[in-house]
Structure 1
Amino acid sequence: MNGGLCAAMLLAANSVFAQSMEDVEIGVESLGSDVHMLTGRGGNIGLVVTEDGAFLIDDQYAPLTDKILEAVRSVTDQPVKFVLNTHWHGDHTGGNENMAGEGALVVAHENVRERMSSEQVNEFFGRTTPASPDGALPVVTFNDSISFHLGEHEIRSFHVPHAHTDGDSVVHLPDANVIHAGDTVFYGLYPFVDVDSGGSLAGTISAVERIAELADGETVIIPGHGPLIDREKLLAYHDMLTTVEDRLEEAIDEGMTLEEIQEAGITAEYDEQWGGGFIPADRWIELLHRSMTR
């Protein structure tokens, strides 16, 4: 295939993608203490409004940037000063270049910049993601943790290793008693564990346990995908993950094949609540099997 045809196909694909975003509406849900959750298409966005500027946690897809900024302006006149990416996936980082162009400083774990800087191949979905342009890359990176002090808010972000990916961050707002879990939590659908990006089921469970340690009965938790939850619902999610992990580990130890495990129905009691997302139960078991046997 010649270069001109490749370019034409890419432009056509981008045009279709942009058109698919035209009808997306950005929802704004107030969590109190100048903290909000924005919804649209892709990962849930956290918004912290301070007298020193607005702080975004993730920024969804590039074609939605104008709508996201309009939603921000509906609650504050402050410009977006910082964007923190919870991991590298495009539904959380797609607006980086646009936000940087508006003056925001993009921050993430060092593995996020590393993965965004090179082509990424996802075998599970058969998908290749090209390297991001330089303008989309985080310009400030951290290893274990980082804190921001803006106005009356302290915003703490810490790395949870080998969870959804190898570069996940959880964001804690202690003054507001809000936690943004990133994609370590998918609520109401089976979570995607990106094994090809260094993720693991064990790491995801560990991340959820760290979040539970920070939370109390009043904590509001923003999942990467799904509705707002509390600590009780987080623990129910944790119980589902650990139960499936134990059953899958036992089946693997007994020498069962993937097909036999899928037919055994080890997720049966969870499928109604969790199996209606973009990964059905049999494919989720295949994904977790890769995570535990790779």
Structure 2
Amino acid sequence: MRRFAILLAATFATPAAAQQDYSKVEIKVERLAPGVAVLFGAGGNIGLSFGEDGNVIIDDQFAPLVPKIEAAVKSVDSDPVRFVINTHWHGDHTGGNEAFGGAGAVIVAHDNVRRRMSVDTFSKQMDQTLKATPKAGLPVVTFAQGVTFHLNGDDIQVTHVDNAHTDGDSLVYWSRANVIHMGDTFFFKATYPFIDRESGGSIDGMIAAAKTGLGIVKPGGKVIPGHGPVATREDLQAYHAMLVDIRAKVAAGIRAGRTRAQVIASNPTAPYDGKVATDGFIKPDRFVETMYDELKAKLRR
């Protein structure tokens, strides 16, 4: 549980993240299509739109990594970062907001991202209060359902999905390049999904978000997960099927009157444990436990 608490601290809280040592972290760039790239480092994957209209980044990891992120962006395009789009509010995706916002970038996100970042929040999982983000790091443009950027020869469509990883998730799609950034509604290979129920997340919302993503990205497209390597549409389809299958098994166990421990012991993730890291941030038992607690409350109604 101690390791899980440390990981949660890095996920949620920028001050906690600042205490970690990021000196050895390298930001690696992978070009996906003309004008589109992804940056890997520590924390959530960063999408990059670059070209004649300036740089747009999707998420910005942790504050101590900002100089390295800026250097990686400049290795692709020397222009400054013009816009930052946050896929959700967690600190491993928004930790660089204050620095980029202070340097003049316009931060854009769903209404609930600004709402959650604007106030101190008590986390039961961490048993501590997460401090509000300073003004420079808050989204200054927010939306309820979505927004489109017409930049760098593409239409970058931002679509909100309800109550998935959190209550403020957005998918970001380059319509001409056929590349989609799923944020943390899609965890690929590295770990089972983290459903932040305290922030309005739900397994049904995660399943719906994956289905929405499949409806947006066309065959042959590339998929940027919140964590893990770049995926294909087929990988996203397999992820959706996995979520549906595990949910059905957990729900069946609840309807049969099994306890949480019994459902966990039935190992509903077994067919997928070889494809998803079982020692990642969210281990199989933790994933099933979270799902059980959510569905138990729903199925009582």
TM-score normalised to structure 1 length: 0.92
Give the corresponding residue for 2:281.
278
How far has the Cα of 1:14 moved from its partner?
Answer: 5.5
Q: Aligned equivalents of 1:174 and 1:15: distance in 2?
A: 37
Per-residue deviation at 1:159?
0.4
Q: Which residue of 1 aligns with 2:240?
A: 238
Cα pair 1:36 1:46 within 8 Å, conserved: yes
1:71 is matched by which residue type in structure 2?
A: A
The whole-number CA distance in structure 2 between the counterparts of 1:272 and 1:128 is 37
Q: Which residues of structure 1 form unaligned runs of 5+?
A: 1-12
Question: How far is 1:198 from its partner?
Answer: 0.2
Is structure 2 residue 265 aligned with structure 1 residue 289?
no
Q: Which moved more, 1:143-152 or 1:264-273?
A: 264-273
Give how far 1:172 is off.
0.7
CA distance in 2, matches of 1:84, 1:104: 10
C-alpha separation in 2, matches of 1:201 and 1:148: 30
Matched, 1:93 2:94: yes
The more displaced of 148-157 and 102-111 is: 148-157
Shift of 1:125: 4.7
TM superposition shift of 1:150 = 1.5
Amino acid at match of 2:263: I
Tell me how far 1:15 sits from its aligned partner: 9.1
Q: Deviations over 1:60-95 (max 9, x none)?
A: 000000000000000111111000000000000000
- What residue number does 2:54 align with? 53
Once the two structures are TM-superposed, the CA of residue 29 in structure 1 deviates from its matched residue by 0.3
Q: Counterpart in 2 of 1:44?
A: 45
Structure 1 residue 290: Cα displacement: 2.3
Q: Give a deviation string over 1:228-283, Cα, whole Å, max 9, x none.
A: 00111111111111000000111111111111111111112222322231111111
Paired position in structure 2 for 1:252: 254
Give the aligned partner of residue 34 of structure 1. 35
Task: Describe how 1:4-153 pairs up with structure 2 within 5 A.
Answer: 17-18=18-19, 20-126=21-127, 128-153=129-154
Shift of 1:120: 2.5
CA–CA distance in structure 1, aligned partners of residues 268 and 201 of structure 2: 22
Q: Residue 116 of structure 1 contacts residue 132 of structure 1 at CA under 8 Å; is this kept in 2? A: yes
Cα 1:284–1:125 change in 2 (3 A) is: farther
SS of 2:82's partner is strand
SS at the partner of 2:31? strand
* 1:215 positional shift: 2.1
Partner secondary structure for residue 164 of structure 1: coil
Contact 2:163/2:200 (CA < 8 Å) preserved in 1? yes
Query: In structure 1, what is the Cα distance between the partners aligned to 2:99 and 2:296?
Result: 40
* 2:8 counterpart residue number: none
Work out the CA distance in 1 between the residues paired with 2:128 and 2:270: 29
Q: TM-score, normalised by structure 2?
A: 0.90
Q: Which residue of 2 aligns with 1:171?
A: 172
| Greater displacement, 76-85 / 211-220 | 211-220
Amino acid at match of 2:226: G
Which range is displaced more, 132-141 or 162-171?
132-141
CA shift, 1:16, in A, is: 8.4
- SS at the partner of 2:195? coil
> Taking structure 1 as reference, are residues 127 and 15 closer, same or farther at Cα in structure 2, changes over 3 Å only?
closer
> Aligned equivalents of 1:113 and 1:88: distance in 2?
8
Q: For 1:290, give the aligned amino acid.
A: D
| Contact 1:48 1:54 (8 Å CA) reproduced | yes
Measured on the aligned residues, the alpha-carbon RMSD in Å equals 1.6
The amino acid of 2:229's aligned partner reads: P
Q: Which segment is superposed worse, 258-267 or 192-201?
A: 258-267
**Count of residue pairs brought into register by the alignment:** 282
Instruction: Deviation per CA, 1:156-212: give whole Å up to 9, x if none.
Output: 101000000000000010011100000000001200000000000000000000111
